[in-house]
Amino acid sequence: VQTCALPISGLAGRGVLDAEAVVEGMEMDRLQHFWPEKLARNARRWVTENIAHGLAREARLKLSGDIENIRELKVRSVSGSLAYENLTVRYLSPMPPVRQVRGTATFTDARFDLAIAGGSLDGLRIGPSVVALSGLDNDRDRAEIEVVVSGPVRDALKLIDSKPLGYTSKIGIRMDGVAGDAAIRLRFAFPLISDLKLEQVALSAAANLRGVAVPKVVRGWDVSEAKGDRKSTRLNSSHVSESRMP
């Protein structure tokens, strides 16, 4: 801990606590020790179960609350920020995790927002992405996640075919001979509950494809595009649509 201020008043009766702290070089695996168990329980569980390793270069925290007795603190408000690097983030199990994640985060007693600057995922590059946990101060807490990946279309197709998506299999594309590049935007939204079921997860994906060659994609026909051509493909749990991009 680099700096810490803990002004406390009213200790003769009901106390008031206003605290500020700055921590540098904190291992993210230790976050659970700094996050009170009773504060935003569902968000705490999701963050500590799905974000691992890495380092918080700097973490800032502001907290105020009422001290009911020597052992009990009733939190009135909390806020802060993080700058992190080399995290491992699992957006939706059992999909493969994103590694070497770097970026920043802000949090309050109502929400936790991660602004991801970059990372990597099985040969794919992770572009600017967001993880938003909201409703933490009520019973409607949920996660909304948007991940942007780019790289070889073969690796991208493997990603969107991983469970629970299975998009490539739904389209009927075989991986053999697939070539080209892709940029894919994946979106997930789901409630922050411990017994989450797949039908409670809203999934969608949109892809921009360039220089793509997909052999025998439909009735034995090959599909190929000249260099510079682009195609947009949108997928969700119920349908697939395609349109030519200018």
In Å, how far are 157, 165, 174, 177, 188 from 169, measured between CA atoms? 9, 9, 8, 16, 19
Q: Which two tokens stand for residue 64?
A: 């105020």
Would you mind telling me the total number of residues written for the chain in this entry? Answer: 246
Q: pLDDT confidence of 216, banded at 50, 70, 90?
A: low
Contact in structure between 205 and 234 (CB atoms under 8 Å)? yes
Choose the most confident range, by mean pLDDT, from 73-82, 131-140, 214-223: 131-140
DSSP state of 51: E
Which pLDDT score, from 0 to 100, does residue 32 have? 85
pLDDT reading at 215 higher than 50: yes
E strands within the chain? 3-5, 8-9, 15-27, 51-52, 55-69, 72-89, 98-108, 112-121, 124-126, 129-134, 142-152, 179-191, 202-218, 221-224, 230-236, 240-245
* pLDDT tens sequence across 10-32: 444 567 777 888 888 889 998 88
Choose the most confident range, by mean pLDDT, from 68-72, 105-109, 220-224, 233-237: 105-109
- The predicted model gives 154-171 an average pLDDT of 81
Which pLDDT score, from 0 to 100, does residue 222 have? 43
Which pLDDT score, from 0 to 100, does residue 167 have? 75
- The predicted model gives 169-198 an average pLDDT of 83
* pLDDT tens sequence across 192-211: 988 888 888 888 888 787 87
Q: Label the pairing between strands 112-121 and 124-126.
A: antiparallel
pLDDT reading at 235 higher than 80: no
pLDDT, greater one: 197 or 124: 124
Percentage of the chain surpassing pLDDT 70? 77
Mean pLDDT of the chain: 79
Q: Which two tokens stand for residue 35?
A: 């996050």
- Using alpha carbons only, give the angle 129, 93, 131 rounded to the nearest 5 degrees: 25
- Would you call 56 helix, strand, or coil by DSSP? strand
pTM above 0.75, yes or no: yes
pLDDT reading at 120 higher than 60: yes
